């Protein structure tokens, strides 16, 4: 949706304002602000992983600009669960103000605290659990258990003078969950009977008919794949997917194999999960990577990161022969995760690379080795019928997912005008049971590039794309400051274009001629002469080679 909205008017007393700063129209960087009577509550601060057209970017954050001058008004940050797209941005935000309280389940906060330790931040935390209620300024919070692909996930009910909101976070309705922790439909029904003003609902699988398959059905498939493997087994998954790691450990034990955790985040998160009892395994099943070479290959399972084709993750490094684990003929690699939209090309390159090395690659496309952690359409219909919300705001999904979710709400009786399809930065006000879009705040992408946060712009990325796709040409000239005559050059160098010097023999006379004409017109300013060179060689390159490289002219007058 391309639509420009005006800035919202000042917030009236007793009105609840909802502003998504990320996670709307995308899978990632989830962050929503709730404001009433001058106080702000934040739900989730996640990251989005870059696509191929964003070279050099490590992660993408929500735009914090709206909050930079209002940090003292923030009374807390609620974290629904421990996935990167919901907690990955917390360290960057707390660098703005470190004493903002974090509220979340025990496992969620443990994952966050480990990340913050690496950033040398000591957070203020409050562990909460399902059924618990906490009051922060004008917000009355109640936490509800939901089932997801990570333990200890929570939805949050937010009661205010402006109205009530249920934010699901990520959830599904697995009726036979591995940890026995069901989505609390009684809790949903309770707020439904009370009267729910605004339902903010996970949209990721809203366009998938029926119900999400059971997690428990995955374990036997993984065990069967491992049993058939003659060589080493490598399983790639998200570093926070405790349930999937548990299934791999159980399958390894059943096949008399040891487990090697590989990747810094995988080792860190699973150590936390083990210590807290969310992951259950005998200590002797694990082997350090440094000692894995001493074990026969048919007696080991490597559990690693890289299921999304991330170039620096373990799996991609194996493909590039840049990791101590080598994949060979007869080995099996299992990609136990779904494809995040935008990662398809990177994942298929990894699959192709592993196949070329001789591995048997098992993934969701050819075996049931993963199920989604998000509710499908049938589950969402149940929620709408239980809750009977007055207003619906689909969140967490690309645009097609939001639309599909909204249509489900309408099918259950929610009026079309009460279904709000928004974008990041759009402002929703809630009062007297009516939610409406009232404007928008400035909201873009915040790029993290190494230690640089927010200083990389879209123009910088465009320059990088040009360098990657079209190449680079530099031209050096020395002119006489008195008469404009070319004393040295033009000397031309190129990279990723055509590095043979003779390629530019035809254009050098054109540059000299253009500089002479400019000198005859009295032009002596080096910058103006650089522009003359850029236009001349740019026109020539486009006509002769159909390319648009980055052109850097340097003119020195002496």
pLDDT reading at 391 higher than 80? yes
Lowest mean pLDDT among 50-64, 512-526, 540-554: 50-64
Which residues have a Cβ under 8 Å from the Cβ of 522 and sit 6 or more positions away? none
| 3-17, 341-355, 432-446: least confidently modelled range | 341-355
Q: How confident is the model over 495-518, as a mean pLDDT?
A: 73
In this structure, what DSSP letter does residue 331 have? -
Q: E-assigned strands of 350-497? A: 360-362, 391-395, 426-431, 434-440, 446-449, 452-453, 472-479, 486-495
Q: Which of 453, 486, 518 delimits the end of a domain?
A: 453
Asked if residue 2 belongs to a domain, the reply is no
pLDDT given at position 553: 82
Residue 410 placed within a domain: yes
Q: 446 with 521, same domain?
A: no
For 519, the token pair is 């000198």
Q: 296: domain CATH number?
A: 3.40.50.10710
pLDDT digits (tens, 9 = 90+) for 469-486: 566 778 888 877 666 677
Q: Specify whether 257 is located in the same domain as 353.
A: yes
Residue 51 has pLDDT above 80, yes or no: no
Q: Is the residue at 1 inside a domain? A: no
* Helix or strand (DSSP H, E) at 333: strand 332-335
Q: Is residue 402 part of a domain?
A: yes
| Average of per-residue pLDDT values in the chain | 88
In the listed set 362, 389, 407, which residue is the last one of a domain according to the structure? 362
Residues 55 and 39 in one domain: yes
Decide if 464 is inside a domain: no
Q: 438 vs 6, 87, 167, 221, CA distance in Å?
A: 8, 28, 20, 50
Residue 63 sits in a domain whose CATH number is: 3.60.15.10
Domain boundary among 324, 342, 362: 362
Q: Mean pLDDT across the stretch 333-360? A: 83
319 and 432 inside one domain: no
CA pair distance 129, 447, nearest whole angstrom:
33
User: Within a 10 A sphere around the Cβ of 61, how many other Cβ atoms?
Assistant: 24
Edge-to-edge strand list for the sheet holding 125-127 = 125-127, 102-104, 74-78, 39-43, 31-36, 16-22, 426-431, 434-440
Query: pTM of this prediction?
Result: 0.82
Class of residue 246 by CB neighbours under 10 A (exposed 0-12, middle 13-18, buried 19+): buried
108-126 pLDDT, tens digit per residue, is 999 999 999 988 999 999 9
On whether both 289 and 378 belong to a single domain, the answer is no
Residue 336's SS3 state is coil
Predicted confidence band of residue 53 (pLDDT cuts 50, 70, 90): low
Edge-first strand listing for the sheet containing 391-395: 133-136, 139-145, 154-160, 163-167, 198-202, 391-395
436 and 416 in a common domain: yes
Question: Is there a domain that residue 462 lies in?
Answer: no
Domain of 197 in residue numbering reads as: 16-210+372-453
* Assigned domain for 465 exists: no
Number of domains observed in the structure of the chain: 3
Whether residue 297 is found in the same domain as residue 242: yes
Shared-domain flag, residues 353 and 418:
no
Average pLDDT over residues 495-503: 63
pLDDT surpasses 90 at 558: no
Query: Do the beta carbons of residue 121 and residue 113 sit within 8 Å?
Result: no
Structural tokens at position 167: 């934010």
The mean pLDDT of 323-327, rounded to a whole number, is: 87
In terms of domains, do 163 and 62 share one? Answer: yes
Which of these, 394, 387, 383, 386, lies nearest to 418 by C-alpha position?
394
Chain position carrying tokens 């919300």: 389
Instruction: Tell whether 165 and 47 lie within a shared domain.
Output: yes
**Across residues 434-445, what is the average pLDDT?**
92
Lowest mean pLDDT among 75-89, 294-308, 379-393, 544-558: 544-558
- The whole-angstrom separation of Cα 9 and Cα 179 is 47
What is the pLDDT at residue 59? 76
Kindly report the CATH number assigned to the domain that includes residue 478.
3.10.20.580
What are the tens digits of pLDDT across the range 175-207?
999 999 999 999 999 999 999 999 999 999 999
298-318 average pLDDT score: 83
What pLDDT, on a 0 to 100 scale, did the predictor assign at position 467?
A: 53
Question: How far apart, in Å, are the Cα atoms of 95 and each of 4, 40, 113, 121, 151?
Answer: 31, 18, 14, 8, 28
The Cα–Cα gap between 517 and 484 comes to 10
pLDDT of residue 244: 92
- pLDDT at residue 498 greater than cutoff 90: no
Identify whether residues 199 and 258 lie together within a single domain: no
166 and 25, same domain (yes or no): yes
Report residue 454 as tokens. 């927010």
Measured between alpha carbons, how far is 245 from 154 in angstroms, rounded to an integer? Answer: 21
Q: Grade residue 1 by pLDDT with cuts at 50, 70 and 90.
A: very low
Residue 544 has pLDDT above 80, yes or no: no
Rg (CA), the chain: 28
What tokens appear for 297 in the block?
Answer: 């290959």
Choose the most confident range, by mean pLDDT, from 157-161, 239-243, 348-352: 157-161
| Structural domain includes residue 11 | no
Report pLDDT for 342.
66
């Amino acid at each position: 949706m391309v639509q420009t909205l005006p800035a919202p008017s000042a917030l009236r007393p007793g009105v609840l304002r909802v502003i998504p700063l990320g996670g709307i129209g995308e899978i990632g960087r989830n962050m929503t602000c709730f404001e009433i009577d001058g106080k702000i509550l934040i739900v989730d601060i996640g990251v989005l992983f870059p696509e191929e057209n964003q070279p050099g970017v490590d992660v993408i954050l929500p735009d914090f600009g709206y909050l930079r001058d209002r940090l003292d008004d923030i009374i807390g940050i609620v974290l629904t669960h421990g996935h990167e797209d919901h907690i990955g941005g917390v360290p960057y935000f707390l660098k703005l103000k470190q004493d903002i309280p974090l509220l979340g389940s025990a496992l969620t906060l443990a994952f966050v605290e480990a990340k913050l330790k690496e950033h040398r931040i000591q957070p203020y935390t409050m562990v909460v659990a399902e059924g618990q209620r906490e009051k922060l300024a004008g917000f009355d919070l109640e936490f509800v258990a939901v089932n997801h692909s990570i333990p200890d996930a929570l939805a949050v009910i937010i009661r205010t003078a402006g109205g009530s909101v249920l934010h699901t976070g990520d959830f599904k309705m697995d009726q036979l969950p591995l940890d026995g922790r069901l989505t609390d439909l009684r809790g949903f029904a309770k707020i439904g009977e009370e009267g729910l003003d605004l339902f903010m609902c996970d949209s990721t699988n809203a366009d998938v008919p029926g119900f999400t398959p059971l997690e428990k059905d995955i374990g036997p498939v993984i065990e069967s794949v491992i049993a058939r493997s003659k060589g080493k087994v490598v399983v790639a998954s998200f570093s926070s997917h405790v349930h999937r790691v548990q299934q791999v450990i159980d399958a390894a034990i059943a096949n008399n194999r040891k487990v090697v955790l590989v990747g810094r985040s995988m080792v860190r998160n699973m150590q936390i999960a083990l210590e807290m009892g969310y992951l259950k395994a005998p200590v002797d099943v694990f082997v350090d990577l440094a000692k894995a070479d001493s074990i026969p290959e048919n007696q080991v399972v490597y559990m690693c990161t890289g299921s999304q084709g991330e170039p620096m993750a373990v799996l991609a490094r194996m493909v590039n022969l840049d990791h101590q684990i080598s994949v060979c003929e007869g080995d099996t690699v299992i990609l136990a995760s779904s494809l995040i939209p935008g990662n398809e090309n990177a994942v298929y390159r990894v699959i192709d690379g592993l196949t070329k090395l001789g591995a048997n690659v098992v993934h969701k496309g050819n075996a049931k080795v993963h199920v989604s952690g998000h509710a499908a359409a049938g589950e969402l219909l149940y929620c709408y019928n239980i809750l009977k919300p007055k207003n619906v705001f689909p969140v967490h999904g690309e645009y097609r997912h939001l639309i599909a979710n909204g249509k489900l709400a309408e099918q259950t009786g929610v009026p079309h005008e009460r279904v709000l399809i928004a974008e990041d930065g759009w402002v929703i006000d809630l009062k007297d049971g009516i939610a409406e879009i009232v404007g928008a705040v400035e909201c873009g992408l915040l790029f993290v590039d190494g230690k640089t946060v927010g200083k990389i712009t879209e123009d910088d990325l465009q320059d990088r794309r040009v360098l990657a796709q079209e190449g680079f040409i530099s031209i050096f000239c020395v002119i006489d400051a008195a008469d404009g005559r070319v004393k040295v050059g033009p000397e031309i160098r190129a990279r990723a274009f055509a590095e043979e010097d003779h390629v530019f023999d035809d254009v050098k006379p054109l540059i000299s001629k253009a500089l002479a004409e400019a000198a005859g017109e009295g032009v002596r300013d080096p910058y103006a002469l650089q522009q003359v060179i850029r236009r001349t060689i740019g026109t020539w390159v486009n006509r002769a080679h159909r390319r648009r490289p980055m052109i850097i002219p340097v003119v020195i007058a002496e």
